[in-house]
């Protein structure tokens, strides 16, 4: 889902993509590619972003924030995952702070 609305995520409402893709512990940070159709029927893979976890993670976080600390939390993986868009990575990598580190 490519929405103009910001999506509830760990640091609050933010710009992310929701994709139909199962995610399990240890997958975060994995690259996510999209297939792009080019002229003349050619195709290529385009980096869309990095995996940030299953969308159900936010449900767990909200339950804990609302006082469910001692309550067992069992939220299943519904196959919807969160992808942080590649343009955020670009902004980070080209920030003044990281430019100084590279120099």
**Mean pLDDT in consecutive groups of 10 residues from the start of the chain, 103 residues:** 74 82 81 89 90 72 65 59 89 92 90
Instruction: Please check whether residue 11 lies inside any domain of the structure.
Output: yes
Domain count within the chain: 1
Q: Name the pTM for this structure.
A: 0.66
pLDDT attached to residue 98: 92
Instruction: Please check whether residue 86 lies inside any domain of the structure.
Output: yes
pLDDT attached to residue 96: 94
pLDDT attached to residue 54: 78
Tell me which residue range forms the domain holding 17. 7-102
pLDDT attached to residue 58: 63
Instruction: Please check whether residue 1 lies inside any domain of the structure.
Output: no
3-state helix, strand and coil shares in percent for the chain, rounded to the nearest 5: 25, 35, 40
pLDDT attached to residue 75: 53
pLDDT attached to residue 95: 94
């Amino acid at each position: 889902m490519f929405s103009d609305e910001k999506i509830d995520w760990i640091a609050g409402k933010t710009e992310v993509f929701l994709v139909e893709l199962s995610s399990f512990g240890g997958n975060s940070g994995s690259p996510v590619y999209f297939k792009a159709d080019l002229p003349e029927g050619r195709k290529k893979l385009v980096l869309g972003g990095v995996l940030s976890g299953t969308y159900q993670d936010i449900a767990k976080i909200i339950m804990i924030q609302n006082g469910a600390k001692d309550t067992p939390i069992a939220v299943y993986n519904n196959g919807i995952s969160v992808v942080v868009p590649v343009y955020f990575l670009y902004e980070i990598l080209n920030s003044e702070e990281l430019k100084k580190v590279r120099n």
